[in-house]
Structure 1
Amino acid sequence: MAVDGDSRLELGRRKERCLLGLLLLEAGRVVPRERLFELLWDGRPPASARAALHTYVTRLRGGLSAHGVQVVMKGDGYLVEVDRASVDVHRFSAALARARGIADPLDRAAELEEALRLWRGQLLADVAGDGLRERLGTALEDQRLEALELKAEADLALGRAAQAAGQLAALSQAHPTRERLVELLMLARYRQGRQVDALAAFRALRERLVAELGVEPTPQLHALHRRILTNDPELTAASPVAARRFLPRSVPGFTGRREELLTLDRIAREQPDSSTTVVIGAVTGLGGVGKTALAVRWAHLSADRFPDGQFYVNLRGYSPGEPMRAAEALTQLLRALGVAADRLPSTVDEAADLYRSLVAQRSVLILLDNALSADQVRPLLPGGPRNLVLITSRDKLSGLVAIDGARRLTVAELTEADAFELLRHVLGRSRVEAEPEATRELSAWCGNLPLALRIAAATLADDPHQTIADYITDLRNRDRIAALAIADDPAHALTTVFGQSYRHLSEVDGRLFRLLGLLTSGDFSSAAAAALADLTVPDTEAALTRLSQAHLVTQERPGRFGMHDLVREFASGLAPGDESHAAMRRLATWQLDRLAAVAEILPGFRVRLSVSTSAPFPTEAAATSWLEAEADTVISALTCYTKAGWHDDVWHLAGLLREPLRRSGRADEWNTVAQIGLDSAIEVGDGYGEAYMRDMLAGCYQDRRMIAEAVAEHRRARALYLQVDDHLGAANCADALGVLHQQLGDLVEAEQLHGEAHAALGYLEDPILGTHSRIHYGTLLGRLGRLTEAAAQFRLALAGAAAINDLFLACFAHHNLAFALLRMQRHEEGARHARAEIELAQLAGSLDRAARGWEMLGDCLFDDDHPQAMEAYRRALELYERQRDSQGEELRHRIDRPR
């Protein structure tokens, strides 16, 4: 039988179906035509066999090609191109091979059950005769019997003697001389308390072997017979612990986690401090990250480390209802250890004593899953140096680490490659590999969180006709957290999993957690969180530490924290509207205050904004550090502030971001912020604000070499500045327009504009803009061939930059002076200024200026020291490429061009 989804395929006539069966038995391998003749016609092919075979193949192709299965001719034979994992016989063989290597009987039994379910009847039923089936099926039948025997062994190891005996009795009737079946049947009946029946099975086998074959049963069977006769106690589970393995089944498709598994191996190998100390491992992490799956997987892989048993308790720390109490957990462990109900102690202390005494001299694994706290776990810690307690929790269990010596393993989300592999396992290789980019996007959309990935994959698996890309498109229009749920399994929805962590928070911590969801930047500072929640910084840091303890936030570095994207979205949906509004209002006020303080102390900020500060920064370094840390948080909040209608704040914040965005070369963000600020200034009708934001937008266009757009915006800004009597702003725009006209080649207009700007800025005595103007005017003079005058302007600009301690302006002045000296054939002096630019750029942390400095150095050295010039060019190219600057391509052509 062949199926595609829910549809059964019609495969034609008997011979054609038989041919397909023969090819599928060798799926992926060529079956020679002569062998097909022999098998299809039982060694007596007719003269028309070749033509008949060709006809059968043609018919099969017609029926199968629409289902993605191809029958192709290769050499002197045929093969069927199909995934071997889609053919039951190969799936069975692979499952049997896996089962042989599984130590845990519970997992081994489950694997074999799935394998044996693939046997739906005789091999090649209804298409082949008995002779052909026997010829091809003997090896497969042996594999089936092996699987049944291994399944019976696993059942016996799990204490399922009655279940094993029933199956073995029927099998031994069908295969009366197969000694391994009888051996297992004897053991199963003995463990049922049926000693007489066990001995009878041996007698029946011996009589048949002697009568029919003239041989005795194996020495191993004779030995088992003697042990049953003498009631050998080792044939039963004499120890209440031996061979008991109470572990959940491993998660299907467990992916990755190689390093984590190795870490657990190292923890298990640790030598305890004394003969009474137990080794403790704590597996901690965010809900849904796969802690339990990891711990259970490792436990199954490590079964041989714990010959006396493995025991599992779900402590329900983050489950609906109340966490499990010590008395209930101890009762569960004692029952698993074989203690009868009528022997269970009546008090917690007595139960704990009995539990410890039962395992003290043994080697067992105690897996305590879903623990709430260290206090919940401590009563369940046994003694004994050969035991291991493995605990999973969303709490960091710091107390257990500090006081009880636990070794902690923090589990993070999957890597991109492992997330891709997980989706491939659940959805199938062909479906995932047909849409690799969409699969990666889905992984990212799920934050590489295993639970989210499995939910998304399960949803897709329920609709095999939906593409992954269409599913992602649908999800973009929905609440991501609400969408990651399975209708008939609400306990594993993300809202439930995250909600169980949230409900254990205190009122203060819960409120802070809700508000942190409003921050959409990658990470945030404790100071920003304090402003958001209206708390002191020390109180906020204490609350953030507790949230980090619960794995709801992560500490990226001292003073800065982050949240998983899905956790942030969950948190953002918890805060009421009025609470969110007030919190964001506080954050905006704090950001305005701090940016104003930055503008007051850092050079280069030409700010005329009506914003004051409550507390200036003590040093430029402190202001720079704050700016680098908080700029992204401010940028990400602008959209929220705009939606709230705080337009006056928005354009002020945008204006205060102008200089840091310009200097860091973040052109896209500069453009976005400038446009947001401009829209807000127009919204509130602030003429100066509109002028300032058009000026900022023009600067962004200029930096991106969008000359026409920059000219238009600078002209609008200049007119608006003059309307509000800001002559300094108007002069600055005139200077910028002069630069743009230089780039357009209109040097006459450029000289007029620079002259106006130079005169006005000299009159207004603005040291920053005056220094800029000298650099721009010097550049024009150089283009007019007045190199001595140009160099004089650049030297004045260098002095101005030094007076205001502006590294960036100094870089510009050195660069332009080096260029002027190069044109004057003063190469050595020009190289000195290029090196000075590089040094200052490195101090300022500007890759762009450093790249341009190295390129200028190469130009200055080109004629006098060509090898050093090429090395300078290569250094420049490396920096351009790191910034993805198109200037790098131009420089590469120069490097590759023959001298």
Structure 2
Amino acid sequence: MGGIGKTELALQYAIAQLEQEQYPGGICWLRARGQEIATQIVTFAQTKLGLTFPDGLDEKGQVDYCWGHWREGDVLVVLDDVTEFDAVEPYLPPSDPKFKVLLTTRLNLGSSVQSLSIEELDEESALALLETLVGPDRIQSQLEDAKTLCGWVGNLPLGLELLGRFLARKLDWSFEKLIGRLESKKLAAKALITKESGMTAQLGVAAALELSWVDLSEAEQELACLLGVFAVAPIPWHLVEECLSDRDKDDLEDIRDEGLRDKNLLKRVEERTYQLHQIVKEFFRIKLQESSGNGESLKQSFCKAMVGIAQGIGNNPTIDVIAGMSASIPHLEELVRQWIDILSDDDLTWPYVGIGRFYEGQGNYGLALPLYQECLEQTKKRFDSEHPSVAQSLNNLALLYDNQGRYTEAEPLYVQALEMRQNLLGTEHPDAATSLNNLAVLYYDQGRYTEAEPLYLQALEMRKKLLGSEHPGVALSLNNLAALYTNQGRYTEAEPLYLQALEMRKKLLGSEHPDVATSLNNLAALYTNQGWYTEAEPLYLQALEMQKKLLGSEHPDVAQSLNNLAALYDNQGRYTEAEPLYVQALEMRKKLLGSEHPGVALSLNNLAALYTNQGRYTEAEPLYVQALEMRKKLLGSEHPDVAQSLNNLAALYDNQGRYSEAEPLYLQALEIYQKLLGDEHPNTVKVQSNFDDCRRRIKESNT
């Protein structure tokens, strides 16, 4: 690759050997690119060694005479920048131990030649090179910008030397200012073009790469332009094959290996995975833009292939899917950054959705959020304010907010998406059913059960009618309705729905699927609420193992299963088994969901309940208080989870004999439950009993 420092390294080696007198026979430096090697050898022998030639020798004969009559002692022959080995090979010295030949080249000369591959510098070495040119004070005072500057040229020695010498002249320029100029001008920036006397390199960065470019065939240049569309990241070769699906795969590999790899423009980083240096990628992208007709076709091929990758990432991707897709994500993100305007209307949302699902599937909601926000902006920009793609984007963003516990932000987006879908697609459409279901989930999460139930029922009936009685969407609706009934204490209505959803999911999705694990977990929770602990435990364990296998050991669903299993052990008095599971779930939720999330509040509440059951009141109280405050902040002052926290904190005070502090908390919890769940709900009955007992104890203590 041009600019890596081959000539400079060879020069420094030759100078060092000269100073150490390692080659008494002399050091002969020959320039191979665009020069007559034979003429240089003959001229060197005449001027430096004083050789005269017999008459009648042709050019080859004169060269052979030089090697045969060279002065005594070891000789170093340097051929710099060899572009065609076959052109110089006839003139190389004979196989004599006295001659040592050093070639610098951008070519891969194969196993017949002992080679030393020169890579770009590491960060420490790149900073050290820059420091020799601009001084340590400027580096240390702007260290992060200096690192960014090195990264911009991919730690390429030629680029670093050009930038360093430029900054040495521009004493009033900050590194940040130069970075801005590079971002604006790219390889056309003056700092990457202007060379000074004293530099080994004869060309700027782009001009150095141009020498390699002109040696490429038309097919090799086309492949280079395509690679310039990708991100600066390892490129799985199957992505390239999908972009050029009409090409023979073996021919494509030959173009790659005999063209780009042999000229060291492309590096193999692992099996069927390749990468461009950042500067080379930038150069290829310039060539892509210059190739107007074919360039647009290559961009479209890239976008089409990457949309196909995005479409392959479903909801709740398993760890196998995530592992298989991870190498494609940087290139999907590059599509979003650079090529989004090339996508067709039908494909516009797919890259955002694919990347969003990839991150959501790992519980990385913070990484998914900007993708969904940008997707909404792009669809609004591309389409009218009312369009199915806009509705989809609203729904996706609302769903993410819901998962983050940001309910007040989610609701207006869900409502807007529902209304838009009903207006555009009709009131009976699968997308309208999805919006009804999602809005019902939000109401459920907020404890607004009476508002959620009719929406769940409407979505269920619509899905049965539109999708058939056996469909994953129908199973989801059955599961959600059963969860609502469970929270309302309507256990006999919930169980058959859970069982129906479980069997349907096993039949449609297979016995090992994230949705099957969810159904097992939910059914176990129903049995736990009814005190059927022996029935619940094997289901919890089965769900947990399945989720770990499919989703990985750190995932929100795994945290939920750990929490539920711990709650079961807690209810059975198996405290030593429950505590580590509660702690593990809490830490996982904090890591994945953030320190303020309804799931974190639930874990705090449950761990406090365990400590209370063990009589560890001083450890329990701050956790209960923290959970209560978090729930009020996130869910509002009237929510079943808030009532639960009030009741639990009151019970703690009650156990400590702090009856006057407990009584008002019991009363607040009772009023919330009565309002939201009704007088007959098990939670309401329990709190009513707690409140009555507390008042009785207060009365007894006063008599």
TM over 0.5: yes
Distance 1:876 1:659 in 2: 22
Is 2:468 the counterpart of 1:753? no
1:461 matched residue in structure 2: 168
1:493 matched residue in structure 2: 204
* Superposition deviation, residue 331 in structure 1: 3.0
1:371 matched residue in structure 2: 82
1:505 matched residue in structure 2: 216
* Superposition deviation, residue 889 in structure 1: 8.3
Q: Which one has a bigger Cα radius of gyration? A: 1
Is contact 1:420–1:439 with CA below 8 Å preserved after alignment? yes
For each residue in 1:506-552, what CA deviation from the matched residue of structure 2 results, as whole angstroms up to 9, or x when unmatched?
12212322333233363434454356566443333222222122122
2:402 matched residue in structure 1: 702
1:411 matched residue in structure 2: 118
Q: 1:690 aligns with which of 380, 390, 412?
A: 390
Distance 2:525 2:126 in 1: 53
2:674 matched residue in structure 1: none
Is 2:256 the counterpart of 1:554? no
* Superposition deviation, residue 734 in structure 1: 1.7
Gaps of at least 5 residues in structure 1 are 1-285, 606-619
Distance 2:219 2:575 in 1: 67
* Superposition deviation, residue 462 in structure 1: 0.9
Q: 1:544 to 1:868 in 2, by over 3 A?
A: farther
Q: 1:594 to 1:642 in 2, by over 3 A?
A: closer
Q: Secondary structure at the match of 1:646?
A: coil
For each residue in 1:140-191, what CA deviation from the matched residue of structure 2 results, as whole angstroms up to 9, or x when unmatched?
xxxxxxxxxxxxxxxxxxxxxxxxxxxxxxxxxxxxxxxxxxxxxxxxxxxx
1:731 matched residue in structure 2: 433
Q: 1:435 aligns with which of 142, 155, 158?
A: 142
Q: Secondary structure at the match of 2:431?
A: helix
Is 2:286 the counterpart of 1:584? no
Is contact 1:526–1:540 with CA below 8 Å preserved after alignment? no
Q: 1:772 aligns with which of 473, 476, 486?
A: 476
Is contact 2:300–2:343 with CA below 8 Å preserved after alignment? no
Is 2:246 the counterpart of 1:540? no
Distance 2:231 2:355 in 1: 18
Distance 1:456 1:662 in 2: 41
Q: Which AA in structure 1 matches 2:103?
A: I
Q: 1:716 aligns with which of 401, 405, 416?
A: 416
1:571 matched residue in structure 2: 284
1:799 matched residue in structure 2: 503
Q: 1:727 to 1:366 in 2, by over 3 A?
A: same
Is 2:442 the counterpart of 1:740? yes
Q: Which AA in structure 1 matches 2:185?
A: R
* Superposition deviation, residue 481 in structure 1: 4.5
Q: 1:431 to 1:621 in 2, by over 3 A?
A: closer
Is contact 1:742–1:780 with CA below 8 Å preserved after alignment? yes
* Superposition deviation, residue 775 in structure 1: 3.3
Is contact 1:423–1:454 with CA below 8 Å preserved after alignment? yes
Higher RCO structure (Cα 8 Å, ≥6 apart): 2
Distance 2:98 2:619 in 1: 72
Q: 2:515 aligns with which of 809, 820, 825?
A: 809
* Superposition deviation, residue 861 in structure 1: 4.7
Q: 1:560 to 1:763 in 2, by over 3 A?
A: same
Q: Secondary structure at the match of 1:719?
A: helix
Q: How does 1:513-532 map to 2 (within 5 A)?
A: 513-520=224-231, 522-530=233-241, 532=243
1:293 matched residue in structure 2: 8
* Superposition deviation, residue 314 in structure 1: 4.4
Is contact 2:80–2:104 with CA below 8 Å preserved after alignment? yes
Q: Secondary structure at the match of 1:491?
A: coil
Q: CA RMSD in A?
A: 4.1
* Superposition deviation, residue 393 in structure 1: 1.6
Is 2:348 the counterpart of 1:633? no
* Superposition deviation, residue 505 in structure 1: 0.8
Distance 1:411 1:746 in 2: 65
1:313 matched residue in structure 2: 29
* Superposition deviation, residue 499 in structure 1: 0.9
Is 2:106 the counterpart of 1:394? yes
* Superposition deviation, residue 583 in structure 1: 2.3
Is contact 2:193–2:205 with CA below 8 Å preserved after alignment? no
For each residue in 1:646-689, what CA deviation from the matched residue of structure 2 results, as whole angstroms up to 9, or x when unmatched?
33432355556665554354545644544555455553457333
Q: 1:314 to 1:364 in 2, by over 3 A?
A: closer
Is contact 1:290–1:451 with CA below 8 Å preserved after alignment? yes
Is contact 1:604–1:768 with CA below 8 Å preserved after alignment? no
Q: TM-score normalised to the size of structure 2?
A: 0.71
Bigger drift between 359-368 and 736-745 goes to 359-368
* Superposition deviation, residue 456 in structure 1: 1.5
Distance 1:432 1:662 in 2: 39
Bigger drift between 366-375 and 290-299 goes to 290-299
Q: 1:348 to 1:531 in 2, by over 3 A?
A: farther
* Superposition deviation, residue 458 in structure 1: 1.4
For each residue in 1:377-426, what CA deviation from the matched residue of structure 2 results, as whole angstroms up to 9, or x when unmatched?
5342542457643332211222xx2xx2x333322221122222222222
Q: Secondary structure at the match of 2:264?
A: coil
Q: 1:393 to 1:621 in 2, by over 3 A?
A: same
Q: How does 1:838-877 map to 2 (within 5 A)?
A: 838-846=544-552, 847-848=554-555, 849-854=557-562, 856-861=564-569, 869=578, 872=581
Is contact 2:391–2:420 with CA below 8 Å preserved after alignment? yes
* Superposition deviation, residue 496 in structure 1: 0.9
Count of aligned pairs: 587
Distance 1:336 1:810 in 2: 85
Is contact 1:481–1:569 with CA below 8 Å preserved after alignment? no
Q: 1:623 to 1:468 in 2, by over 3 A?
A: closer
* Superposition deviation, residue 453 in structure 1: 1.6
For each residue in 1:258-305, what CA deviation from the matched residue of structure 2 results, as whole angstroms up to 9, or x when unmatched?
xxxxxxxxxxxxxxxxxxxxxxxxxxxx22122333444455666769
* Superposition deviation, residue 371 in structure 1: 1.8
Gaps of at least 5 residues in structure 2 are 612-617, 621-703
For each residue in 1:620-652, what CA deviation from the matched residue of structure 2 results, as whole angstroms up to 9, or x when unmatched?
999988755545434422455543473343235
Is contact 1:527–1:537 with CA below 8 Å preserved after alignment? no
Distance 1:781 1:837 in 2: 21
Is contact 2:41–2:63 with CA below 8 Å preserved after alignment? yes
Distance 1:826 1:520 in 2: 54
Distance 1:345 1:555 in 2: 50
Is 2:357 the counterpart of 1:650? no
Q: 1:781 aligns with which of 472, 485, 498?
A: 485
Q: 1:816 to 1:623 in 2, by over 3 A?
A: closer
User: How high is the sequence identity, in percent, across the aligned residues?
Assistant: 20
Is contact 2:159–2:205 with CA below 8 Å preserved after alignment? yes
Q: Secondary structure at the match of 2:202?
A: helix
Distance 1:823 1:343 in 2: 107
Distance 1:465 1:604 in 2: 53
2:660 matched residue in structure 1: none
Q: 1:491 to 1:291 in 2, by over 3 A?
A: closer
